[in-house]
Structure 1
Amino acid sequence: MTATDPTLTTITPPRRPSQRRALLPLSLVPFFPILLSTLPLIGTFLPRWLTFLLPLLPTAHILHTYTRKSSTTHIVPRRVTAQIDGDFVVFLIGAKLNTLNAWTGGEGIWTGEAFGAMVAELRQNPELGCLAIEEFFGADGAATDTLSVQYWRSAEDLHRYARDGMRKHLGPMMRSTKNSKLNPHPDIGIWHETYSVRAGEYESIYLNMPEFGLSRAGRMVDPGRARMTMMQRMGKVEEPDVVEGMRPYMDEL
């Protein structure tokens, strides 16, 4: 099965405007122990009233980042897969808070603002080659790191953006690299990984999900019987290699 199979049915879920999430406060719960743990340390040096205001700064930044992001809330109530034409690149980038000073010294807030500016720039300028972005917080279970999953049209587009001095990436990259050389105990860790994917050499499935990940970078399609299992979607087998106990349920999908 190639990436340009004309027999697949494209599914286009309607988009809704950006809106604040009702459960947003719950997403901040993992941050509260970290924020509260700073109070005894900072309280030694600052007035008590100011001590209790400081944790609101990173919290306000997180709230701002969450609420300004656009989201697709329409659920597609069945199994679908993703279709994208040609080769593409998956780029993972993130940051990790290594010390308490990352919060109190402002480096964590500055890094978050830099990441937010880059993501906003890429979303507002699709001609740069970034197809879609998904962002996650607290991926390590301790709310101290972030993850941005990005889908790019090509490695050349990604490289061109990273080196363009007129864009939002180069300046912060140079600053963080310089700081890592000067500081023997760096407050912020930054990482990235890049994967080049050839056409047809990928697979995905979404069950009762909104447009997400690769399906947002490309488009949602009905897998049908030709792409019922992972090995079929990877082009490894032609007939469905369904686990025997699941066959009655798979036939109904």
Structure 2
Amino acid sequence: MATLIPGRVTAAHEGDIVVFHIGMRFNNFRAVRSWWPVFTAMPRMLAELEKHPAAGMLGYRTQLSPPRGLEIVQYWESREKLLAFAAATDRTHRPAWAAFNRAVHQGHGKVGIYHETFLVPAGNFETIYYEMPAHGLAAATGHLPVGRRGESAAERLDRREEQRAS
């Protein structure tokens, strides 16, 4: 069982952050040949990113995306590092994407994929976790007591606005 962090904490991250959602949908569960390569590619990419922290992924979590899918939420240092990983010919993403594009024509409609990228400037996010194990952005970047940033969401966001202005 995951260790609970006592009390109220917030993510320790300072600065900009990139939040990247990527997922797949099983449009036809019986079409294993269509969705299996997609399903198995992401764990390889995540393992590669975990071995190479300089690539820029800070952390991730995997979750079910009902009724028929899986989703991974990733936290990245920067837009540039995310795009560099996606385009690198010597990394796992580019060949997996090319294979998917070739296979999608053969298994049209059997599997769906999506991604969403959110560029979040410093001062435009706020987090709070209460009696939780490490989760989300705090799991990716560490946590600190809420009081160090303000007791309410409004105070924490106002404080970050002041930091950006200075």
TM-score, normalised via structure 1 length? 0.59
Alignment pair present for 1:201 and 2:128: no
Deviations, residues 32-63 of structure 1 (Å, cap 9, x unaligned): xxxxxxxxxxxxxxxxxxxxxxxxxxxxxxxx
Give the match's secondary structure for 2:131.
Answer: strand
Deviations, residues 159-193 of structure 1 (Å, cap 9, x unaligned): 0000111111011111222333x247321101000
Q: Unaligned regions of 5+ residues in structure 1, if any? A: 1-20, 22-72, 237-253
The structure, 1 or 2, with the larger RCO (C-alpha pairs under 8 Å, 6+ apart) is 2
Report the counterpart of residue 56 of structure 2 in structure 1.
129
Distance in 1 between residues matched to 2:158 and 2:56, nearest whole Å: 27
- Deviation (angstroms), 1:225: 7.8
Alignment pair present for 1:212 and 2:135: yes
Q: Structure 2 counterpart of 1:107, which letter?
A: S
- Deviation (angstroms), 1:226: 5.2
Count of aligned residue pairs for this structure pair: 160
Structure 1 runs of 4+ aligned residues shifted over 6 Å read none
Distance in 1 between residues matched to 2:93 and 2:81, nearest whole Å: 13
Q: Work out which of the residue numbers 104, 109, 114 in structure 1 matches 2:36.
A: 109
Rg (Cα) greater in structure: 1
Distance in 1 between residues matched to 2:54 and 2:79, nearest whole Å: 14
Q: Closer, same or farther in 2 for the Cα pair 1:117/1:184, shift >3 Å?
A: closer
- Deviation (angstroms), 1:108: 2.4
Report the counterpart of residue 85 of structure 2 in structure 1.
161
Asked if structure 2 preserves the Cα contact closer than 8 Å seen for 1:76 and 1:208, the reply is: yes
Equivalent runs, 1:171-190 vs 2, <5 Å? 171-180=95-104, 182-183=105-106, 185-190=108-113
Alignment pair present for 1:96 and 2:96: no
Asked if structure 2 preserves the Cα contact closer than 8 Å seen for 1:91 and 1:149, the reply is: yes
Distance in 1 between residues matched to 2:146 and 2:18, nearest whole Å: 22
Structure with greater proportional strand content: 2
